[in-house]
Structure formats: C-alpha cells, structure tokens
Amino acid sequence: MPDLPPSFDEAFDGNYVAGVLTIGTSAVVVKVGASAMVGRQEVIVFGNKTNTDTIYIGPADVSVTTGLPVEPGEAITFTFSANIALYAICGTAGQTARIHEVG
C-alpha cells in the first residue's frame, strides 16, 4: 500500500482554529476567540471582499500609515517560531477579516 500524505489534522497536530474578527479605528489583537492560540506558528488574515476599506496589520502601535495593508479580498500570511502578538486597525469601523491560526 502506498504511503499517503498526512491529513490536515495530523500535519498540524489538530491545532487549527478559524473565525471572523471585526476591526475598527482602534487596534485589536489578531486572534480567534478570547485569546490568540498559544504556540501558534502561522496566522492568515483575509480581508473580506465586502469590506470598504483596507485593514492594516502590525505591532501594538500599528496605524493606518505603518501597518502592512490587507485590501478587501486579499490575504497575508505570517509565519513565526515564537508567540508574537499581531494587531489590526482600519480607517473605517466595522471591517471584518477571516483569521486562521495554525499551531
């Protein structure tokens, strides 16, 4: 019998969560649920296509002039080896992003 690739859950030890984050004019932590996944190694931020403004990602003091832009319908992936806090902000309240955390 040929070797089969690992299932998604096996590849990530089952540490995968996804959800929607509402972003406004004050920086919010990029996370799913009450807190960021402990030991997460990758975060994907997808700006929903229905957004009317760009989302910006960066450190705690992120702003619309310093953050990495995520346009509506676009995604950005962050890969890291330590627990790093990411924040999101937008120039318009009520924008949403799909957040995926992988451990």
62-67, long-range: CB < 8 A, 24+ apart: 62/27, 62/87, 62/88, 62/89, 63/89, 64/89, 64/90, 64/91
Question: Domain for residue 50, yes or no?
Answer: yes
Say how many domains are in the chain. Answer: 1
- Mean pLDDT, residues 22-41 taken together: 94
- CATH at residue 76: 2.60.120.770
pTM above 0.95, yes or no: no
Is 98 domain-assigned?
Answer: yes
52-85 pLDDT, tens digit per residue, is: 999 999 999 999 999 999 999 999 999 987 778 9
Asked if residues 30 and 83 have their Cβ atoms less than 8 Å apart, the reply is no
Q: Is residue 28 part of a domain?
A: yes
Residue 3 lies in a domain: no
Residue 9 belongs to some domain of the structure:
no
Task: Answer whether residue 38 is part of any domain.
Answer: yes
Q: How far apart are CA 38 and CA 26, in angstroms?
A: 24
In tens, the pLDDT along 34-53 reads 998 988 899 999 999 999 99
Rg of the chain taking only CA atoms, in angstroms: 15
* Residue 52 belongs to domain spanning: 14-102
